[in-house]
């Protein structure tokens, strides 16, 4: 009887997998035919614009298996954006069916879009296609990794996607964890272990999952800022503010500094002046120039530091602080933080002074929230504070700002603001034409005279509202074509 030695059967010997692709570094924020996600070999056939299949599993992770009417055809990956290495491997390991969108070129089949499809009951992602696009978009917004392959990656078109479930957070960490700052990535792994553990209480698991969801849904950006066009910045300032040449000059100087260093200045702005002089409007204009989301913090309503720092997870009703909420609402770590009424920050009634909490935020060294239990990077935060009284602000806080004094408007400036800005804005909002509400010079002088003792322009804006409403009333009720106001009419109306 013949004896077969199966130990020497060469069919049992698997070939060592040889990586067929080379990685390339790219920092583009979206894929095109010229800058694709990956390039597949098309020497066997020219692939269709939309082609379906799966990335090969762990035994052959350097290819894509095209699925067509003629069966499965395997094509080697030739080039791959280094940011997407972990994502492609993960898609292959989970046998996720995808549709590639690409074009055949001399280099190969250039893929610029990857979408998940439901095919044959295959594995679905934790949030279907939205989750895949979320990771791809994050990867596009990240920098190319080092030469060594890191263990996570990012997303593409899923800003509406929110990570809430443990599965989606786990998958995100697997594929896009490298886009997180080092300390947050380590923090996330620890909290993910707590959220999955059955050795801790349900309350602890719930808090860990909530903290993870908040942190993962924030896009943690670097502190690199692109250059800003000074002429466009000046146009925005002129559009939003009348006069204030000294203030505009200081803001343009800040823009020039950012263009030279590509980082935010070490000090934020503190705008000090009477109520109604446009301090908040200046802050909003700066946020618009920087093209950053903004959030406001009203210090007059803060009477306990815990409102800013959050509460410890040992409490059942624990929650993050207002500052962490601001990051969460903005959705990214680079933002303009507008702190209103900074001079009211010293009136704490709780166990400490709320003003002291702001110091770590303003130092840009990182902020710690008691609920998150993690140091939050603040290098991309640009603080702009407003105040009425400079002498009510503590010296440590003052030293962390570049102070700009906002003087009250002169009568001539108030007249110009009322005539060119306040009244036209109200007329437009009410649907009135300029020639339907006419103000004589005497009427303009009467308005300014009546509010000569008030600070700012809020009273002028209310006067414009009253005058325009009266004109609209006369046009609609008395069927007048237009209303011309003189000094006596204005005094009778506004008294």
Query: What are the residues whose beta carbons fall under 8 Å from the beta carbon of 192, sequence distance 6 or more?
Result: 166, 169, 170, 173, 208, 212
Q: Do 287 and 318 sit in the same domain of this protein?
A: yes
Please report the pLDDT score of residue 129 as a whole number.
Answer: 66
How confident is the model over 454-493, as pLDDT tens digits? 887 888 889 999 999 999 999 999 989 999 999 899 999 9
CATH number of residue 384's parent domain:
3.40.50.300
Question: What secondary structure letter does DSSP report for 120?
Answer: T
The distance of Cα 320 from the centroid of its chain, to the nearest Å, equals 19
User: Where among 351, 385, 405 does a domain terminate?
Assistant: 405
Q: Based on the domain organization, do 400 and 455 belong to the same domain?
A: no
Expressed as residue numbers, the domain containing 69 is 22-179
Same domain, yes or no: 382 and 452 = no
Give the integer Cα–Cα distance in Å for 121 and 364: 49
For residues 125 and 261, state if they share a domain: no
The tally of domains found in the chain comes to 3
Q: Tell me how far apart the alpha carbons of residues 200 and 188 are, in angstroms, rounded to a whole number.
A: 17
pLDDT < 50 positions in the chain: 1-14, 121-122, 148-160
CB 107 within 8 A of CB 96: no
342 within some domain: yes
State whether 308 and 447 are in the same domain. no
Same domain, yes or no, for 254 and 394? yes
On whether residue 219 sits in a domain, the answer given is no
Q: How far apart are CA 118 and CA 135, in angstroms?
A: 18
Characterise 185 by phi-psi region: left (phi > 0), alpha (psi -120 to 50), beta (else).
alpha
Please tell me whether residue 81 adopts helix, strand or coil conformation: strand
Q: Tell me if 115 is assigned to some domain.
A: yes
For residue 461, the domain's CATH number is 1.10.8.60
Q: What pLDDT is attached to residue 147? A: 54
391 and 459, same structural domain?
no
* 66 shares its domain with 136: yes
Pair 380, 268 in one domain:
yes
pLDDT for residue 108: 94
Q: How far apart are CA 347 and CA 99, in angstroms?
A: 59
Residue 208 corresponds to which tokens in the numbers above? 């860990």
**Please, which residues have CB within 8 angstroms of residue 28's CB and are 6 or more apart in sequence?**
35, 140
CA distance 439 to 463: 12
Please tell me whether residue 80 adopts helix, strand or coil conformation: strand
Residue 197 lies in a domain: no
Let me know if residue 211 belongs to a domain: no
Q: Residue 209's pLDDT is what?
A: 92
Q: Is residue 188 part of a domain?
A: no
Structural domain contains residue 66 = yes
Looking at 387, 405, 423, the residue that finishes a domain is 405
CA pair distance 115, 101, nearest whole angstrom = 8
221 Cβ neighbours under 8 A, 6+ residues apart: 141, 332, 333, 334, 380
- 255 with 337, same domain: the answer is yes
Question: Buried (b) or exposed (e) across 137-176, using 16+ Cβ within 10 A?
Answer: bbbbbbeebeeeeeebbbbbbbeebebbebebbbbbbbbb
Please list the alpha-helical segments (H only) found in 262-364: 279-290, 306-309, 322-330, 354-362
Query: Which tokens hold the place of 183?
Result: 């300390």
Task: Indicate whether 323 belongs to any domain.
Answer: yes
The answer on 470 and 321 residing in a single domain is no
Query: Looking at the structure, do residues 365 and 398 belong to the same domain, yes or no?
Result: yes
Q: Domain ends where: 405, 429, 460?
A: 405
């Amino acid at each position: 009887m013949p004896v077969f030695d199966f130990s020497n059967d060469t069919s049992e010997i698997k070939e060592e997998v040889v990586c067929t692709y080379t990685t390339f570094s790219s920092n583009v924020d979206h894929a095109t035919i010229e800058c694709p996600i990956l390039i597949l070999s098309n020497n066997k056939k020219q692939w269709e614009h939309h082609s379906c299949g799966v990335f090969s599993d762990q035994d052959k992770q350097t290819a894509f298996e095209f699925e067509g009417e003629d069966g499965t055809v395997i094509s080697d990956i030739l080039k791959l954006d280094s940011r997407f290495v972990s994502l492609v491997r993960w898609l292959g390991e989970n046998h996720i069916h995808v549709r590639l969108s690409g074009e055949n070129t001399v280099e190969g089949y250039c893929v610029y879009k990857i979408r998940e499809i439901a095919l044959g009951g295959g594995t679905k992602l934790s949030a279907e296609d939205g989750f895949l696009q979320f990771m791809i978009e994050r990867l596009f917004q990240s920098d190319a990794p080092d030469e060594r392959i890191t263990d996570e990656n990012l997303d593409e078109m899923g800003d509406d996607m929110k990570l809430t479930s443990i599965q989606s957070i786990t998958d995100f960490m697997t594929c896009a964890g490298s886009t997180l700052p080092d300390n947050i990535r380590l923090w996330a792994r620890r909290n993910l272990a707590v959220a999955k553990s059955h050795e801790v209480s349900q309350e602890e698991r719930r808090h860990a999952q909530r903290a993870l969801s908040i942190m993962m849904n924030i896009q943690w950006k670097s502190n690199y800022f692109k250059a800003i066009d000074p002429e466009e910045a000046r146009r925005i300032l002129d559009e939003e503010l009348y006069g204030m040449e000294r203030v505009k000059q200081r803001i343009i100087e800040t823009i020039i500094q950012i263009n030279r260093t590509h980082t935010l200045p070490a000090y934020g702005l503190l705008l000090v002046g009477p109520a109604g002089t446009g301090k908040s409007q200046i802050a909003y204009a700066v946020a618009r120039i920087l093209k950053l989301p903004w959030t406001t913090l009203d210090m007059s309503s803060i009477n306990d530091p815990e409102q800013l720092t959050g509460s410890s997870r040992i409490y059942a009703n624990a929650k993050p602080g207002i500052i962490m909420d601001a990051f969460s609402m903005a959705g990214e770590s680079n933002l303009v933080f507008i702190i209103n009424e900074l001079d009211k920050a010293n009136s704490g009634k709780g166990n400490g002074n709320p003003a002291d909490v702001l110091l770590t935020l303003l130092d840009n060294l990182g902020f710690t929230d008691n609920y998150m239990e993690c140091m939050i990077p603040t290098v991309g935060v640009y603080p702009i504070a407003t105040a009425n009284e400079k002498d009510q602000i503590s010296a440590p806080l003052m030293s962390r700002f570049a102070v700009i004094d906002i003087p009250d408007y002169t009568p001539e400036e108030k007249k110009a603001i009322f005539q060119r800005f306040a009244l036209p804005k109200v007329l437009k909002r009410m649907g009135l034409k300029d020639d339907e509400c006419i103000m004589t010079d005497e009427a303009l002088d009467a308005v300014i005279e009546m509010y000569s003792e008030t600070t700012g322009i809020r009273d002028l804006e209310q006067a414009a509202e009253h005058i325009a409403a009266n004109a609209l009333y006369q046009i609609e009720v008395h069927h007048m074509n237009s209303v011309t106001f003189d000094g006596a009419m204005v005094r009778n109306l506004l008294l």
